[in-house]
Amino acid sequence: MPAVPRSSTLPALALRRVRRFAAPVLGFVALTALTFLGLLAITFFIGRVVPIDPVLAVVGDRATQEQYEAARQAMGLDRALVVQFADYVWQVLQGDLGRSVSTNRPVVEDLARVFPATLEMATIGIAIGVALGVPMGVWAAARQGSWTDQVIRVLALLGYSVPAFWLGLVGLAVFYAGLGWVAGPGRIDIFYDGIVPPVTGLLLVDSLIAGDTGIFMNALSHIALPAAILGFFSLAYIARMTRSFMLDQLSQEYVTTARVKGLSEWRVVWIHAFGPIRVPLITVIGLSYAGLLEGSVMIETVFSWPGIGNYLTVALLNADMNAVLGATLVIGAVFIFINRISDVLYRVLDPRSR
Partner 1 sequence: MSAPLLSVEDLRVSFPTPTGRVEVVKGLSFDLGRERLGIVGESGSGKSMTGRAILRLVRAPGRVAAKRMEFEGTEIQSLPERRMRDLRGARISMIMQDPKFSLNPVMTVGRQIAEALQAHERLGRRATRERVLEMLEAVRINDPERVASMYPHEISGGMGQRVMIAMMLIPRPSLLIADEPTSALDVSVQAQVLDLIDELVRDHGMGLILISHDLNLVSRYCDRIMVMNAGRVVESCAASELHRAQHPYTQGLLAAVPRMHETRPTLPVLDRSQWSGT
Given the rule CB under 8 A, which residues bind partner 1? Answer: 252-254, 256-265, 267, 271-272, 275-276, 278, 349-352
- CA torsion sign for 43, 48, 52, 55 is positive
**What three-state secondary structure class fits 99?**
strand
Closest CB to partner 1 among residues 255, 316: 255
Q: Least separation, in Å, of the C-beta of 275 and partner 1?
A: 5
Q: How far apart are CB 267 and partner 1 at their closest, in Å?
A: 8
The nearer residue to partner 1, 87 or 265, going by C-beta atoms, is 265
Spatial distance between the Cα atoms of 283 and 264, rounded to a whole number of angstroms? 29
Which residues make Cβ contacts (< 8 Å) with residue 227, sequence separation at least 6? 121, 124, 125, 128
CA 162, 164, 166 angle in degrees (round to 5)? 75
Pick the closer one to partner 1 by CB: 22 or 348: 348
Spatial neighbors of 3 by CB under 8 A, at least 6 apart, are none
Give whichever of 232 and 274 is closer to partner 1, judged by the CB atom: 274
Provide the minimum distance between the beta carbon of 259 and partner 1 in the complex, in angstroms, as a whole number: 6
Least Å from the CB of residue 3 to partner 1: 17
Rounded to an integer, what distance in angstroms lies between the CA atom of residue 171 and that of residue 228?
Answer: 10
Pick between residue 21 and residue 266 the one whose CB is nearest to partner 1: 266
Residue 329, CA atoms < 13 Å, CB-side half-sphere: 26
Smallest distance, partner 1 to C-beta of residue 246, A: 14
Nearer to partner 1, 38 or 275 (CB): 275
CA distance 4 to 178: 76
d(CA 59, CA 67): 8
Q: Measured between alpha carbons, how far is 231 from 304 in angstroms, rounded to an integer?
A: 18
* Residue number, 198 or 275, with CB nearest to partner 1: 275
Query: Residue 175 or residue 346: which is nearer to partner 1 going by CB?
Result: 346
Cα Rg, the chain, nearest whole Å: 25
What minimum distance in Å lies between the beta carbon of 34 and partner 1?
30
Which residue, 144 or 200, is less far from partner 1 as judged by CB? 144
For the stretch 217-240, what's the b/e string if a residue is b when 16 or more beta carbons lie within 10 angstroms of its beta carbon? ebbbbbbbbbbbbbbbbbbbbbbb
Q: Nearest distance from residue 341's CB to partner 1, in Å?
A: 19
Instruction: Provide the minimum distance between the beta carbon of 353 and partner 1 in the complex, in angstroms, as a whole number.
Output: 10
Alpha helices by DSSP H, listed for the chain, are 10-49, 54-59, 65-74, 81-93, 107-142, 147-161, 164-171, 203-210, 213-250, 253-260, 265-267, 274-293, 297-302, 308-317, 321-349
| Cα separation, 39 vs 336, whole angstroms | 9
Closer CB to partner 1, 2 or 178, in the complex: 2
Least distance in angstroms from the C-beta of 258 to partner 1: 7
Q: Report, in Å, the least distance between residue 133 CB and partner 1.
A: 21
